[in-house]
Amino acid sequence: MKYWLLKSEPDTFSITDLKARPRRTEHWDGVRNYQARNYIREMQKGDHAFFYHSSCAEPGVVGTVTVVSDPYPDFTAFDPHNPHYDPKSTPDHPRWFMVDVRHDKTFRNTVGLQQLKECRELTGFALLNRGNRLSIMPVTASQWRFINSLAGEGA
């Protein structure tokens, strides 16, 4: 099992939106960065991820999700009416992939970006690297446990 961090802007898709979906499940689509795409291709059913709200008043980790599918082609890339359309991606030769995620828990309090930056235990955490704008990134098992402890949650 691996651990991940998935970033989303809450005015586009929030953890509350995910929780409101049928079966609290939705596909994680629209990734159009090759490194983030490569991370998606590494994901497996049963992996866990932090849900991170970005580009908002209080950016931070707001909860957790479970990956409930293996990666599969991102069908939004095939639809010319979709904002994530990519004419170079076809069903026979997909460039982009997605996974389905299920809401696990919403933290009572956001574990804010500033709080994360102040923790020596998170030295090397990909989210905190200067200039990192990836929407998907790996999390180590120790980082997973530590951030859950900051949220007051069990690992």
Over residues 60-84, the mean pLDDT reads 97
Give the model's pLDDT for residue 80: 96
Res 155: pLDDT: 54
Given pLDDT bands bounded at 50, 70 and 90, which one contains residue 133?
confident
- Is the per-residue pLDDT at 154 higher than 70? no
Q: Which long-range contacts (C-beta less than 8 Å, at least 24 apart) are formed by 80-89? A: 83/30, 84/29, 84/30, 84/32, 86/32
Architecture of domain 3-150 in CATH?
Roll (3.10)
Q: What are phi and psi of 139, to 5 degrees?
A: -130, 135
Share of the chain above pLDDT 70, in %: 99
Interior/surface letters 72-108, b for 16+ CB within 10 angstroms, e for the rest: ebbbbbbeeeeebebeebeeeebebbbbbbbbbbbbe
Q: What is the mean pLDDT of the chain?
A: 95
pLDDT at residue 48 is higher than 70: yes
State yes or no: pLDDT of 83 exceeds 80. Answer: yes
Query: Looking at the chain, how many residues does it have?
Result: 155
Q: How confident is the model at residue 37 (pLDDT cuts 50, 70, 90)?
A: very high
Pairing mode, strands 48-53 and 3-8:
parallel
pLDDT number for residue 132: 81
- What pLDDT is attached to residue 113? 95
Q: Is 49 exposed, middle or buried (0-12, 13-18, 19+ CB in 10 A)?
A: buried
Q: What is the pLDDT, as a whole number, of residue 130?
A: 84
